[in-house]
Structure 1
Amino acid sequence: MRNKSIVVAVVMLALWFIPLVPILAIKDQDTGKILTAVFTQNNTFSLEWIHSVELEPWQETYRLADGKIKLTETRFKAFGAGSPVNEGDEIFFKDGWIVIRGINRELDFLPLTISPRSGHRLDTGRKVLLLQDVAPGDRNLIIEQVKVNLPRAVYYRIFIAGVTYWCQAPMPVSGTNK
């Protein structure tokens, strides 16, 4: 009985201190500090923003797997410089969007420059996070999947991921975010 108690105690301590819980961290690129953390639904999330040149909405969908961030789909309203037309398994039009699927580009982290004009939003499948509320002004961020220990995961879930920054507002209409 005593041996079982010791084993249970060791396992509980391990769960308490060893980073096992995956989160999606939004970090300041300059300091590396985690500004907020989110929990995704089905290990997917999307980023939405207004393109700075075309002033049209863009959306990219990512999947988390094996500690990597994989770009799986992009959709945009108009072709322009930098449009990823040579990637993906299929390109088609749907509801006014140009959709490219099957991109499967793997990243260790996702660097991102946000500004008040672009209206970057992160959609976790549960809620939508306005990145400008997390990091005001023109900022360089990193989105990265990290593992944290159980107490930190609970902290992020209760005190960080559940407060303040969530919205349900629709994306701005193209050209209105000048």
Structure 2
Amino acid sequence: MPGLCLYAGGALAAKLAGVAAFTLAWTHSIEKIPWEEDWRVTPAGLQLVQARVKGMGAGMEPPPEARLQDGYWRWTPHVPPLPEVVLRRSGFTADWRLCADGRCRTMGELAPGDADPVTLKGCE
């Protein structure tokens, strides 16, 4: 059964079995505005399905095709599946949140608190 694996320091930190789709969420470090991305785990890699941001500001302007819906600017990024997604972490900003199967957890709940970076990959 496919799933999502998180690696910290090259070692497996967590395996989320059966996760076929997930949302990465974070708060912009300067603007303090929520940003979210929906991803799918596919045989070709991690596929970015939708991105959304609650507002605009420093380095976070939505693209021209974005549409405002339910308070978020939403769009479909056109990027190929990625073999992995590398998340950098800082003690100066709120941690990443990973939501799957109706449950959201901070990266610190899934990987060691000081792990930087954390790499996401599809796995069996």
Distance 2:62 2:68 in 1: 14
Higher helix proportion? 1
How many residues of Structure 1 are paired with residues of Structure 2 in the alignment? 121
Structure 1 residue runs of 5 or longer lacking an equivalent are 1-20, 148-178
How does the TM-score come out when normalised to structure 2? 0.83
Aligned to 1:123: 99
Aligned partner of 2:90: which letter?
S
Going from structure 1 to structure 2, the CA distance change for 1:145 and 1:84 (only over 3 Å counts) comes to farther
Going from structure 1 to structure 2, the CA distance change for 1:83 and 1:111 (only over 3 Å counts) comes to farther
Aligned to 1:97: 72
Structure 2 residue runs of 5 or longer lacking an equivalent are none
User: Over the residues paired in the alignment, what is the CA RMSD in angstroms?
Assistant: 2.1
Give the ranges of 4+ consecutive aligned residues of structure 1 lying more than 6 Å apart after TM superposition.
none
Aligned to 2:123: 146
How does the TM-score come out when normalised to structure 1? 0.60
Distance 2:112 2:7 in 1: 9
Going from structure 1 to structure 2, the CA distance change for 1:129 and 1:67 (only over 3 Å counts) comes to farther
Contact 2:47 2:82 in 1 (8 A): yes
Going from structure 1 to structure 2, the CA distance change for 1:138 and 1:104 (only over 3 Å counts) comes to same
Larger-Rg structure: 1
Matched, 1:107 2:82: yes
Distance 2:2 2:10 in 1: 17
Aligned partner of 1:45: which letter?
F
Q: How does 1:9-158 map to 2 (within 5 A)?
A: 21-28=1-8, 31-41=9-19, 43-79=20-56, 80-83=58-61, 85=63, 90-101=65-76, 103-116=78-91, 117-133=93-109, 134-137=111-114, 139-147=116-124
Identity %: 21
Q: Provide the secondary structure at the position in 2 that maps to 1:64.
A: strand
Going from structure 1 to structure 2, the CA distance change for 1:38 and 1:104 (only over 3 Å counts) comes to same
Higher strand proportion? 2
Write the deviation string for residues 114-133 of structure 1: whole angstroms up to 9, x where unpaired.
23422311111232221022
